[in-house]
Each structure stands twice: as C-alpha cells, then as structure tokens.
A = this chain, B = another copy of it.
C-alpha cells in the first residue's frame, strides 16, 4: 500500500508553482498524492493543523509536514 502525500495549498501563485513542480515530482509508486485547496476546503484545516501545517504551500509526507517557501500563514485561511 502506498503512503499518503498531501499537498496543501491556497491557490496563490507561490502555491501553484510549488504544486506544479513538487507535487508532480512525487513518486506515484511510493505515494498516493492528494492536492487540497485549504481556501476552498476549510473542513480540512483541522487535519492539516494536526499534521503540523503552519503555512501553505505545505507537503505532508507520512504525516510529517514540510513547508515549502512561504505563501500564506494558515491563520489567514480561516
């Protein structure tokens, strides 16, 4: 079974650039990649915060959050 890779973003230009490069570079044989737009899917915010997401774009691999550059603080999305 593949591990889960979740890419959280908020539609900003920084996020989109990161999504196109980083999310697409993930090995699909190792990870099931899910793209979540936190601005539109606010119901996913608690889950993102639990994983340690503090800003977007962020990539959660195996439950560990990696923040990519700095687009927007998660507080701004609420």
Contacts and interface: CB of A to CB of B under 8 A. Distances in A.
Contacts of A71: 52-54, 65-67
What's the interface size class on A, roughly? 20 to 34
A14 B59 CA distance: 15
Contact of A62 (B18, B21, B31, B66): B21
Query: How many copies of this protein are present in the complex?
Result: 2
Given A25-B5, A25-B26, A67 B68 contact: yes
A54 to B, nearest CB: 6
Counting from the closest, the 9 A-B pairs by CB-CB distance are A27-B27, A67-B69, A21-B61, A52-B71, A66-B68, A25-B26, A65-B71, A66-B70, A25-B61
5 contacts: A21-B62, A25-B27, A25-B30, A25-B61, A26-B26
